């Protein structure tokens, strides 16, 4: 029972982190719903919710104010806000280098650790990215959700903390019009290969497919690695 409770607390923590950090449903300084309401919404006990809130408070994501409630901490790093690719090419390159180190291993872990529900979510988000591209719609949200689903499926608390970095890199890459069509065509090809390995739970294949995808993205944007 203790292990089951730990798993439930971890999943609750991940869900709250996703809402606050990835989806930004609450702004820095904004108060969370009361415990009764939030526990009911998440379908967990108040004890489990308190453990999750405590974990996020320890990470600096939330701030507990005695007698007032729980608030989103003003943790947001404004330095990650990009105004244009040309002005921040070096910084964006660094972000993609981080992704190239981090995300292939995450994809391999996801193959081993993903639950059935996790894998279904990855496949669903992958299909949504494809639909957006083929129908000419903005795919930013779908692409963020796809990569976030893979990270969540790895079930590693510290890896989850890098989701804002991944989301920022995805948004900036897609938002720059100079290479949008090239990136879209590349994404269709690369995601199809990655999804095939993920669905087969082939960790080595998924790792290589993710590495190729990120290398293609860097090449398309002219983000050269190594010393300048």
> What fold characterizes domain 2-72?
Arc Repressor Mutant, subunit A (1.10.10)
User: What is the C-alpha to C-alpha distance for residues 225 and 228, in angstroms, rounded to an integer?
Assistant: 8
Which residues of the chain form CATH 1.10.10.10? 2-72
Q: How far apart are CA 161 and CA 53, in angstroms?
A: 15
9-30 residue pLDDT tens: 888 888 888 888 777 788 888 9
Mean pLDDT of the chain: 83
Beta bridge partners of 62: 72
* Higher-pLDDT residue of 92, 184: 184
> What are the residue ranges of CATH 1.20.120.530 in the chain?
80-220
Spatial CA neighbour of 61 closest among 164, 185, 191, 192:
164
Q: Which fold has domain 80-220?
A: 1.20.120
Return the percentage of the chain with pLDDT > 90, whole number.
40
């Amino acid at each position: 029972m203790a292990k089951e409770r730990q798993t439930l607390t971890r999943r609750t923590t991940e869900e709250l982190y996703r809402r606050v950090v990835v989806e930004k449903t609450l702004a820095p300084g904004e108060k969370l719903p009361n415990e009764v309401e939030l526990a009911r919404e998440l379908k967990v006990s108040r004890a489990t919710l308190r453990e999750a809130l405590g974990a996020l408070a320890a990470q600096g994501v939330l701030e507990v104010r005695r007698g007032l409630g729980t608030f989103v901490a003003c943790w947001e790093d404004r330095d990650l806000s990009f105004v244009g690719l040309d002005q921040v090419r070096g910084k964006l390159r660094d972000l993609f280098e981080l992704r190239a180190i981090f995300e292939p291993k995450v994809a391999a872990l996801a193959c081993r650790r993903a639950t059935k529900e996790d894998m279904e979510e990855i496949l669903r988000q992958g299909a949504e990215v494809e639909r957006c591209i083929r129908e000419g719609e903005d795919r930013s949200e779908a692409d963020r959700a796809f990569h976030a689903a893979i990270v969540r499926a790895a079930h590693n608390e510290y890896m989850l903390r890098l989701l804002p970095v991944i989301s920022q890199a995805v948004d900036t890459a897609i938002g720059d019009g100079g290479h949008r069509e090239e990136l879209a065509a590349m994404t269709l090809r690369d995601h199809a290969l990655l999804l095939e390995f993920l669905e087969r739970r082939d960790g080595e294949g998924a790792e290589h497919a993710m590495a190729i995808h990120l290398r293609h993205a860097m090449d398309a944007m002219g983000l050269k690695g190594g010393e300048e």
